[in-house]
Structure 1
């Protein structure tokens, strides 16, 4: 059975590729290894969790994977900001990758809220 294209999964996959290239750049040219490794972990984890969600055992399991992806995306925003504030990313580099990550966060928030609404879960129940 052919699956419909998943825009969120495709965007997170492309984002992971960007994060990997950014990590290599930061490590090789900026000699930064601590924060860049953190952003590598969180930035690639977004796509990994979304990929896992494709084979979720239940709707709550699917929601859990989506929530983890959202948390990882939020963490990635944090590390990108720290790399920018530390002078490891210039304005253009930061704005571009931060915009992509922010778009993922917005998409994930929408996805999680929609799924919670369909499941009858209020925001306070988490």
Structure 2
């Protein structure tokens, strides 16, 4: 079996999809709805903005879109830290998601740094 080519866009899509599944299991009270909705938006936006970066015509525009993706990932991280503090959602899933999130943040930050 040939090695699968590393595809950051696929990882971001998987991340956003995992957030959707994670949020489906959050309690439906005010806290779960508020932070769940925020997390859905920021995780989805990170993938969508990186997708937009792939279609840019200039390095400056690419950096701008990738920077927005990075900002949204960092927002997702803070959101997950809050949910961890209040013990919302499946702890094992949250740990897995946070691990992948930290990797994605490092990757995109490195890409932006290298493009500058």
Normalised-by-shorter TM-score class: 0.7 to 0.9
Larger Rg: 1
Which runs of 5 or more residues in structure 1 are unaligned? 117-126
- Structure 2 counterpart of 1:121: none
Does 1:12 find its partner at 2:4?
A: no
Which runs of 5 or more residues in structure 2 are unaligned? none
| Matched position secondary structure for 1:89 | coil
Q: Per chain length, whose mean CA-contact separation is higher, i.e. which structure has more relative contact order (CA < 8 Å, sep 6+)?
A: 2
- CA–CA distance in structure 2, aligned partners of residues 64 and 6 of structure 1: 22
| Matched position secondary structure for 1:33 | helix
In the TM superposition, structure 1's runs of 4+ consecutive aligned residues that sit over 2 Å from their partners are none
Instruction: Name the Cα RMSD after superposition.
Output: 1.3
- TM-score by length of structure 2 reads 0.88
Question: What count of residue pairs does the alignment treat as equivalent?
Answer: 109
Alignment of 1:21-36 (within 5 A): 21-26=21-26, 30-31=27-28, 32-36=32-36
